[in-house]
Amino acid sequence: MRPCVRKSKKGVSLVEVMIAVLISSIFMLGGSFFFVASTGQINLREQYRAASRLASQKLEEVKAVDYDTVTEGEVTDSVTLRSSSYNRSVVTKDLGSLKEITVTINWGSEDQQHNINLTTFIAPQ
């Protein structure tokens, strides 16, 4: 009588399990770095959108008043939205027949400053 020899082994060995765990850990670690980096970029883009809205809102306010009441000079203020603080500066220059209005929004920490500038010209009606 011959001994019975099994040709296929069912199940997985400990080495195979360890290799599978190592490979899946590498993929998860890479995915977590991507998630953290993309979350930071999403927050920064939201701050840029908010700053852009603040700047365009101020330009619309200046354009809505009478041309003769817009005086030359600089006005600054601070606005806080969603736990972010924005510094807004409005510079008006009289160019004779036109007035140039520039709105600058600054925000961020001392080591990472961000800003947006919007400029428009207004004329008497």
The whole-number average pLDDT for the span 41-68 is 91
Q: Which residues of 48-62 are buried (b: 16+ CB within 10 A; e: fewer)?
A: eebbeebbeebbeeb
Note the pLDDT tens digit of each residue in 63-121: 888 888 888 999 999 988 888 899 999 999 998 889 999 999 999 888 889 999 999 99
The CB density around residue 27, as the number of other CB atoms within 10 Å, is: 9
- Residue at 27: amino acid letter: F
**Residue 4 resides in a domain:** no
Our count of domains for the chain comes to 1
Inform me whether the pLDDT recorded for 48 exceeds 80: yes
- In-domain check, residue 3: no
CATH code where residue 41 lies:
3.30.1300.30
What pLDDT is stored for residue 107 in this prediction? 92
**Residue % of the chain over a pLDDT of 90:** 49
In a domain, 9, yes or no: no
In-domain check, residue 108: yes
Residue 38 within a domain: yes
Q: Over 80: is that where the pLDDT of 123 sits?
A: yes
Residue 93 lies in a domain: yes
Asked, for residue 85, whether it belongs to a domain, the answer is yes
User: Per-residue pLDDT averaged across 39-62, rounded?
Assistant: 91
Q: Is the distance from CB of 66 to CB of 87 less than 8 angstroms?
A: no
Q: Residue 49's pLDDT is what?
A: 93
Range of the domain at 79: 14-122
Q: What is the pLDDT of residue 5?
A: 61
Q: Is the pLDDT of residue 6 over 80?
A: no
- 34 within some domain: yes
